[in-house]
Amino acid sequence: MTRLSVNINKIATLRNARGENNPDVVATALDIESFGAEGITVHPRPDERHITRRDVTELAPRLSTEFNIEGYPSPDFIKLVKSVTPTQVTLVPDAPDAVTSNSGWDVLSNNVFLTEVVREFHDAGIRVSIFVNPDVDQIKAAASTGADRVELYTKHYADGYDTDREAAIAPYIVAAEAARNAGLGLNAGHDLSLKNLTYFHNRIPWLDEVSIGHALICDALYLGLKDTVKAYLDCLK
């Protein structure tokens, strides 16, 4: 079974545009869970331009599904995550001013650092996933840190899907097999959508989780949030 974790950053972006509490991030997350999503993902950035630290602390005790917190493992981020002990933390290499995640870790060059971070989160009882490109060497290096999972950065698949979906998926199949052979769980995310998700899942059916935010919220403008969550869940059947 592949879980759908809905990234609610864009809900917070909309709320923050007016400086009030509409839409209510916590209430929306609970609705998304009630619509069938198996997880909620947030990415609290240092400038709090969407998800805030307060959102994280308010969400943690209210959610009934898996809570996944993404971010660069700075001391402040590590402290925040350990204070709420989510199900999973996803480590991303983003600079503080990055608009969105745009690459996986160079795990080979950051192995010592990531190994220490993984150990710290494991000591707190939190599952750890490392965001990587579909590169076998990087996946093997991720396994050596003691991480539980990797999350494949899927933008290149999404970009190539319309032109040649077989060519676009090929490196991801190799990467997914490498992760499985290394004993790692497998997540995926970035630009997955109703258009390309079914094919990705059919070709890599042992995915543990997909994390989808921007495309899902865009679709919800037309389909409504409840029907959109259902449509994404249907892609994973």
User: Residues with catalytic annotation?
Assistant: 43, 70, 190
Are the beta carbons of 50 and 78 closer than 8 angstroms? no
Are the beta carbons of 91 and 105 closer than 8 angstroms? yes
Q: Largest Cα–Cα distance in the chain?
A: 48
Which structure tokens are listed for 108? 């080979």
Q: How far apart are the first and last CA of the chain?
A: 8
Contacts by 99-104 with C-beta closer than 8 Å and gap 24+?
Answer: 100/190, 100/214, 101/43, 101/70, 101/131, 101/153, 101/190, 102/155, 103/133, 103/153, 104/130, 104/131, 104/132, 104/133, 104/135, 104/138, 104/152, 104/153
How far are the Cα atoms of 38, 48, 237 from residue 93, in angstroms, in the given order? 25, 17, 31
Report angle CA 46, 98, 156 to the nearest 5 degrees: 135
